[in-house]
Homo-oligomer: A and B are copies of this chain.
Amino acid sequence: MPTDMPQPAFVLVRPQMGENIGAAARAMWNFGLDRMRVVAPRDGWPSEKAVAMSSGAGRLLDEALLTDDLAGALADCHFTLATTARPRDLTKPVYTPEAAMREARDRIAQGQRVAVIFGPERAGLENEDIAQANAIVSVPVNPAFASLNLAQCVLLCAYEWRRIQDDTAPVVQALAGTEPAETHEIEHLARHYEERMNEAGFFFPETKAEAMKVNLRNMWSRMPLTRADVQMLHGMMRQIVRWKERGGR
């Protein structure tokens, strides 16, 4: 049984070695976190090596949500933080682990569901993964030497989560009368716009199309959209299509 302590989900994206999944589970449970999600583990699931390495924290693996893709793992979340070693130019806010866990705590206190995503061991998260997140977490390591492994990155985030629980919680008010959109709603909106803009010939030239799509997705995921905003944006695009079909009359 998972603990009922409100907490973020930690999502391992395409992890390679089972041992590292087990070590990540132990790192989490050291600080009382027990909501793991696993996206497309390279060597299949369940993983004997993960179980062997997780000793004492095996329950996290048994209860982990397994999904085929990142969108599936984030579907019910309102806010996603992506861990990266080097914040690239991704036009998202970059948080320290401390600031990230404070943001997570405040959002969770307002009833939101928060995810922290971690990339595969060697390469880290792809730009397409980061495009699905709202903000970036970067551990301020020595610029001359950054060698954190997956479990260490999980450990530092879990440690910060635990550490900031002891601060007095700042009072943050939710946007009056508005509900934040969930990740699957943002995903659906992003797809709707991408499809229509594709039909409209926006992603041109071909060589730049992928980068343009990533930019657009980054923009949607970075915006603090409410459910009402999402409905309005869908409605705008549907009306534009009707306008076009009338030939501008």
Residues of A bordering B, CB below 8 Å: 26-27, 29-32, 55-57, 87-96, 98-99, 102, 136, 139-142, 145-148, 152, 155-156, 159, 162-163, 166, 171-178, 193, 197, 199-202, 212, 215-216, 219, 222-226, 228-229, 232, 235-236, 239-240, 242-245, 247-248
Contacts and interface: CB of A to CB of B under 8 A. Distances in A.
A180 B32 CA distance: 38
A177 to B, nearest CB: 4
B175 A91 contact: yes
A99 B167 CA distance: 12
Given A142-B31, A156-B159, A173-B93, A201 B243 contact: yes
A202 B99 contact: no
B171 A99 contact: yes
B145 A175 contact: no
A219 B240 contact: no
Nearest to A155: B152
A185 to B, nearest CB: 15
> Which of A92, A94, A215, A244 has the largest number of chain B CB atoms within 10 A?
A244
Contacts of A223: 223-225
23 contacts: A29-B142, A30-B145, A30-B146, A31-B141, A32-B142, A56-B147, A89-B177, A91-B177, A91-B178, A91-B229, A94-B175, A95-B172, A96-B163, A98-B171, A102-B171, A152-B155, A156-B156, A156-B159, A202-B235, A215-B228, A219-B232, A240-B244, A244-B248
